[in-house]
Amino acid sequence: MDPFSRRGALGAAGGLLAAKTALAQAPAPAGTPNAPAIPSNRRILGPQNEARQAQNPDVLNPPSTDQGPMPNLRFAYADSHRRLETGGWTREITIRELPISASMAGVNMRLDAGGIRELHWHKEAEWAIMLGGSARITAVDEKGRWFVDDVQEGDLWYFPSGIPHSIQGLQPEGCEFLLVFDNGSFSEDSTFMLTDWLKHVPKSVLAKNFRQPESAFGNLPKEHLYIFNGPVPGALQADIPKEVEKVPESFSHRMLQQKPLFEGPGGWVRVTDSSHFPASKSIAAAMVELQPGALRELHWHPNADEWQYYIAGQGRMGVVGAEQHARTFDFRAGDVGYVPYAMGHYIENTGTEPLRFLEMFKSDHYADISLNQWMAVTPHELVQAHLHLPDGALAALAKDKVPVTQG
């Protein structure tokens, strides 16, 4: 078991970022070796947000390898509006905040102990990872089969499109989690909620439907509840329906109990897609941890855009598109990144602590192509005609994929 650091994960997801004080006039920050010092005649003379600039050194003073225009591929949850409710809070990053993110959207949510995300459903599938605390999740499928489970840090859940479900924080501290939806236009405000539906149905119809007197519905909420306080659930066993069939594929999964797909001196990679978590049919994920100085190798994904969430640490990502376009972006815990389909990229830990992040894809399976492996298995004479490397360099390349390398 390799659990999250509770303090690190919750602090990161809560957006408690310590701003560094660095001047824009300073030479290139550490971790930006290709960027020259800013000449004195190009220094910023007008107003500056120095703390913000210090968090984005590769934007302020780009590496010399950056070229041409590239859409913004980064947005911070710290810049996202937080909706406060009686039982918790929520904030989201959708195509509204990050316009390039057409295929996926993310919601960061916190529930108090007993706090309930009310019974609801939506058109989009919902993938989630617990960042801290614990929660009880429930669902019912189209055949009336039940699902109830308690999830902890590092656990996942997945609810298919249209499946009704709920989430409730448990003792002692409630929970915080990240939700990922397979549509960049998704918004938490557009979900179908139980209380919202019932308030728009005549009581006479409710009485017929539920075979109750109309008076039974006299105290329905006048507004939908969304996130509200409720009694803290008791033992899990008490919430399991009797004489009702369970869903055939579990809607939850213990990601951190999986053996890493790759593990080495520079870090590890865990992949969870439909081959590991059968219910998760439209979203695949990888969790990556890089040690200081380590690199998520040069690669690209042949099947989908990549939506990222940074859990801990700090790093930078270089992305290369077609037509000689390249940009470098800096990330910290609580940030979201995005890589358009098939664009080559790398991620490097530029901090002093481990960098941990999620790679998410709108796909039933995870796939990546390693630049190193491609060059290693392609006829060397052909590659050498392109690159003119020193003698023996191509023969030294690994034919097996090495997703994480330590320089």
Helix or strand (DSSP H, E) at 8: helix 6-13
Is residue 93 in some structural domain? yes
Enumerate the β-bridge partners of residue 345: 299, 319
**pLDDT over 70 for what percent of the chain?**
90
Per residue in 15-27, is it b (16+ CB within 10 Å) or e — as a string? bebeeeeeebebe
Q: Which residue pairs from 212-219 have beta carbons closer than 8 angstroms and sit at least 24 positions apart in sequence? A: none
Mean pLDDT of 222-227: 92
Residue 121, classed as helix, strand or coil, is: strand
Mean pLDDT of 68-86: 96
CA distance 11 to 220: 37
Is residue 132 in some structural domain? yes
Q: What is the pLDDT of residues 98-107, one digit of tens each?
A: 999 999 999 9
Cα dihedral 196→201→205→210 (10° resolution): 0
CA distance 360 to 81: 23
Residue 205, classed as helix, strand or coil, is: helix
Is residue 389 in some structural domain? no
| DSSP conformation class of 79 | G
Q: Confidence class of residue 407 from pLDDT cuts 50, 70 and 90?
A: confident
Is residue 406 in some structural domain? no
Match 């990053």 to its residue by tokens. 93
Q: Confidence class of residue 9 from pLDDT cuts 50, 70 and 90?
A: very low
Is residue 394 in some structural domain? no
Mean pLDDT of 57-70: 93
Question: What is the per-residue pLDDT for 13?
Answer: 43
| DSSP conformation class of 27 | P
**pTM attached to this predicted model:** 0.90
The answer to whether 304 touches 182, Cβ cutoff 8 Å, is no
Domain of 73, CATH number, reads 2.60.120.10
Helices (H) and strands (E) in the chain, counts: 7, 26
Tell me which residue range forms the domain holding 181. 1-367
Question: What is the per-residue pLDDT for 320?
Answer: 98
Residue 256 phi, psi (nearest 5):
-75, -5
CA distance 239 to 193: 21
Is residue 249 in some structural domain? yes
Catalytic residue among 124, 176, 289, 359: 359
Is residue 298 in some structural domain? yes
Q: What is the pLDDT of residues 326-336, one digit of tens each?
A: 999 999 999 99
Mean pLDDT of 369-383: 97
Q: Quick check: 268 pLDDT over 80?
A: yes
Residue 125, classed as helix, strand or coil, is: coil
Q: Confidence class of residue 188 from pLDDT cuts 50, 70 and 90?
A: confident
Q: What is the pLDDT of residues 17-54, one digit of tens each?
A: 333 333 333 344 444 555 556 666 678 889 999 999 99
Q: Quick check: 253 pLDDT over 60?
A: yes
Is residue 308 in some structural domain? yes
Question: What is the per-residue pLDDT for 189?
Answer: 81
Which of 182, 151, 113, 108 has the alpha carbon at shortest distance from 364?
Answer: 182
- Residue 359 bears catalytic tag: yes
The answer to whether 297 touches 36, Cβ cutoff 8 Å, is no
Mean confidence (pLDDT) of the chain? 91
| DSSP conformation class of 365 | S
Q: Considering its fold, how many domains does the chain have in total?
A: 1
Q: Confidence class of residue 289 from pLDDT cuts 50, 70 and 90?
A: very high
